[in-house]
A and B are shown apart, each in its own frame.
Chain A
Amino acid sequence: MKSLLPITASDASMVSCHSCSLLFLNKGIHRLNMANMKCHRCGAILHERKQNSLNRTVALLVAAFIFYIPANVLPVMTVTSFGREQADTIMSGVIHLVVTGMWPPAIVVFIASIIVPVMKLLILTFLVISVKKKSNWRPLERTYLYRMTEISGRWSMIDIFVITILIALVDMGSMATVEAESGALFFAAVVIITMFAAMSFDPRLIWDGAGKNAEPRGIIEENLYPLEKE
């Protein structure tokens, strides 16, 4: 009879290539020299867990938190129309859309530029703390949170693209011009840095500390079953 206890690659002294999923045995005479071992199939450097994952994620998060302030305080663009200048920050851009009654883009920009970056910073901070404290709290839900930040992060770039399009399109000399301002630079930095932070976080660390909560819950599908644990 098969036991349903989960067994991980690391339990079995195996290392999985993060790029092509080839498994390597890392035991006895097959012991890998982990310092510069490369996958012989795809050439990626092998490591059991992403290297220095927590420290890298923390460093990037601190940088993102610092840049987050000028990104939201400084204007991202200035619209000059018939001599009248109007500087917009990320937030005032959204408010402007709401005031003029343009709800659909207002909602899109609000979610992509305000909700997503804040949630990403908070979720990643929470995940790092929970892994540092070796928490066994709801590993599945924490993995879902990680997946959400990884997928949604790139959509914050929409504001940068809108600015790019507007400055090119609204270039009418004395009638109307749009200029990019330094806030846009900080905002782009926050988006890129948090994308790197999400990339450097290793979700397997959540499961390493999950203890008894790490057992699979779902019904075992026909196509998959765990290996027998000796």
Chain B
Amino acid sequence: MSHIIACHECDMLHKVKHIERGAARCLRCSAVLYESKKNSINRASALTLTALILFIPANLFPFLSLTIEGQENRTTLLTGIKALYLQGMPELAFLVFLTVIAVPLFQITGLLYIFTALRFKVLPSFPVLFRYILCTRTWGMMEIFFLGILVSVVKLAGMAKIIPGPALYSFFLLIFAVTAAFASIDDRSVWERFDLK
């Protein structure tokens, strides 16, 4: 019954029709039902590969360094998590690790696997993986962390000298790559490929 679709927000049934561009919205609650995406598989695989490459410098190198009276302190993503853990807040450390490192890494590698497979006309063996990636989407919070970096910089600007590190630029590009990768996914056509099996 893939020619009919129920709106996931109000349950109203719609006929599915091919659309050239833009999004098909629910007549009743205007939720997006499906979208037309050009070149989805190529874009998604290229962007997730970019994201995976950027993920390495973004996590290895310091993103900020702070200097007060000649004493310098550099931080990477992991230093903050380690500091939370050492200050007796393992729950918060785990939460930050999950939302800024683990979930994004899982999404990037998972999408790379799925879309590279589709790119070479192979059906990925785990449809469950695609489902998990879509439903963990709100739990990847790299862009919020980036905004957090900017707020911290402004907070400290008066009292110390702050120098942005190489990870800050990689992190910025990484957010773009991940957001664009998610935007280029045409989940409906991916699911339909599993249908034909």
> Which residues does A use to contact B, with CB under 8 Å?
6-10, 12, 14, 16, 18-25, 41-44, 81, 97, 100, 102, 104-105, 108-109, 139-140, 143, 146-147, 150, 153-155, 157-162, 164-172, 175-176, 179-180, 184-185, 188, 192, 195, 203-204, 206-208, 214-218, 220-221, 223-227
Contacts and interface: CB of A to CB of B under 8 A. Distances in A.
A21 B1 CA distance: 10
Contact of A168 (B1, B4, B75, B159): B75
Contact of B188 (A18, A21, A23, A218): A21
B146 to A, nearest CB: 9
A155 B29 CA distance: 24
A41 B191 contact: yes
Nearest to A175: B68
A164 B148 contact: yes
B1 to A, nearest CB: 4
27 contacts: A14-B1, A18-B8, A19-B131, A21-B6, A22-B191, A23-B2, A25-B1, A43-B128, A102-B155, A105-B154, A108-B151, A143-B31, A158-B148, A160-B92, A161-B148, A162-B148, A164-B92, A166-B152, A168-B75, A170-B66, A172-B71, A185-B92, A214-B10, A221-B27, A224-B14, A224-B27, A225-B15
B83 A188 contact: no
Contacts of B154: 102, 104-105
Interface of B: 1-2, 4-6, 8-15, 17, 19, 24-31, 33, 64, 66, 68-69, 71, 73, 75, 79-84, 87, 89, 91-92, 95-96, 99-100, 127-128, 130-131, 134-135, 138-139, 141, 144-145, 147-152, 154-156, 158-160, 187-188, 191, 194-195
A65 to B, nearest CB: 20
A19 B75 CA distance: 39
A28 B155 CA distance: 65
A5 B11 CA distance: 13
Contacts of A176: 68, 159-160
Given A164-B92, A216-B28, 20 more contacts: A19-B134, A20-B131, A22-B1, A23-B5, A42-B194, A154-B141, A158-B148, A161-B96, A161-B147, A162-B151, A164-B80, A164-B81, A165-B80, A165-B149, A204-B9, A206-B10, A214-B10, A220-B27, A224-B15, A224-B26
Contacts of A166: 152, 155-156
B73 A195 contact: no
B147 A8 contact: no
A41 B127 contact: yes
Contacts, number: 227
A218 B30 contact: yes
Given A164-B80, A168-B79, A170-B66, A226 B148 contact: no
Contacts of A147: 9, 31
B35 to A, nearest CB: 11
A224 B156 contact: no
A183 B151 CA distance: 19
B89 A170 contact: no
Contacts of B13: 7-9, 12, 14, 226-227
B148 A165 contact: yes
Given A158-B147, A161-B96, A172 B89 contact: no
B95 to A, nearest CB: 6
Contacts of A169: 64, 66, 73, 75, 152, 156
A105 B151 contact: yes
B130 A42 contact: yes
Contact of B195 (A41, A97, A208): A41
Contacts of B131: 19-20, 42-44
A161 B145 contact: yes
